A = this chain, B = another copy of it.
Amino acid sequence: MRPTVNDIARAAGVSLATVDRVLNARPGVTEKTVQRVNAAIDQLGYVRDVTAANLARQRRYRLTFVLPEAPELFVATLRDALAEAGRSSAADRTEIRTLSFPAGNPHALVRTLRTLNSANTDGVAIFAPETPHVRDAILRLKSDGVPIVALVSDLPNTERDHFVGIDNIAGGRTAAFLMGKFHGKRGGSVMVLVSSMQARDNVERRLGFDQVMAESFPEIEVLPSLENHDDEDITARVVSEVLDARPDLTGVYSVGHGSRALVEVLRAHHRARQLTIVAHELTSVTREALRSGDIDAVVSQDVGHIVRSALRILRAKIDGVGIVPGQERIRIEIVVRENLS
């Protein structure tokens, strides 16, 4: 049988209450008694039963997710994953609240963040770009004692407790590796489509992509980035233009979260099967395009894993306990037609 607080109380010759004080590092215990209790603790090899503690404490985890209101399917899949997690969260005393802000509106975001404090939330997960005001708002929350995790896109200059997402430079490098390998030693030229050069994840992916293309596939020409600002019309237009202007095009790298318009244009041009297409994020659109052969590979991250990991990490931070790093590492997934779920 595992030792309990009672066992260590008896062994140390003190009461339950005192053991509890020592366990939780609360004041009002003589240094001497503390020593005695700690001695008993490691002598008996005591490990605290966190679930029993939480029961007694009547702890609830009120967690807040702050997500952009964006047109991209990726955000939708993230919301779905969150809803799914919400269904089973009551069992672990977790209440999930989702707050939305219009994508690309830092003011609205900051206003949303301002409503949050330690009185109404125990932990916050944020998927948003880093701006100075956001930084300040996060700092305030942190100093209020609220744990914060950054979701998908890191907030490295804030005091966020953890980043839950992939290394986007490595993500871009992975995309380049596939693009290069799929070209099979033939040269060619590759078009790069980004959402916006403001978005940190897009910039990092492009950076990683360029590194590997230059290092390992110099025979392939990489064209300058084309920004589509997640607008389908813009995408349709610029892609069409390049397709016409560059009959020697051999590949397309879609850096952003959305690929719907790209797939449609390629289909319309009946060019898809002759080009190597690499995109990011597994959504209904990219999934279908992989199946049909319109996209060759998708570099992705598991939104279900991201959500569950954020929940686990926030709860761990709230409880002040450690995490299992291996379990929380979000992998850079490569998805092709054959390992589609």
Residues of A whose CB lies within 8 Å of any CB of B are 2, 47-52, 54-55, 81, 84, 88, 90-93, 170-171, 173-174, 176-178, 181-186, 208, 212, 296, 299, 302, 304, 308, 324, 326-327, 329, 331-339, 341
Contact = CB atoms under 8 A, between A and B. Distances in A.
Contacts of A324: 84, 88
Contact of A339 (B2, B50, B185, B332): B332
Contacts of A186: 184
Nearest to A93: B49
A23 to B, nearest CB: 14
Nearest to A171: B339
B51 A55 contact: yes
A299 B333 CA distance: 11
B334 A173 contact: no
Given A49-B91, A50-B91, A91-B50, A178 B336 contact: yes
A184 B327 CA distance: 36
Copies in the complex: 2
B337 A334 contact: no
A332 B331 CA distance: 12
Contacts of A170: 338-339
Nearest to A90: B47
A327 B338 CA distance: 20
A174 B326 contact: no
Contact of A55 (B55, B173, B178): B55
Contacts of A54: 51
A338 B177 contact: yes
Given A50-B91, A173-B339, A176-B338, 15 more contacts: A47-B91, A49-B55, A51-B51, A51-B93, A84-B326, A174-B338, A177-B337, A177-B338, A178-B336, A181-B181, A208-B338, A308-B327, A331-B339, A331-B341, A332-B338
Contacts of A341: 329, 331
B49 A52 contact: no
A334 B336 CA distance: 9
Contacts of A90: 2, 47
A24 to B, nearest CB: 16
A294 to B, nearest CB: 15
A209 to B, nearest CB: 10
A215 B47 CA distance: 56
A146 B229 CA distance: 56
Contacts of A183: 184
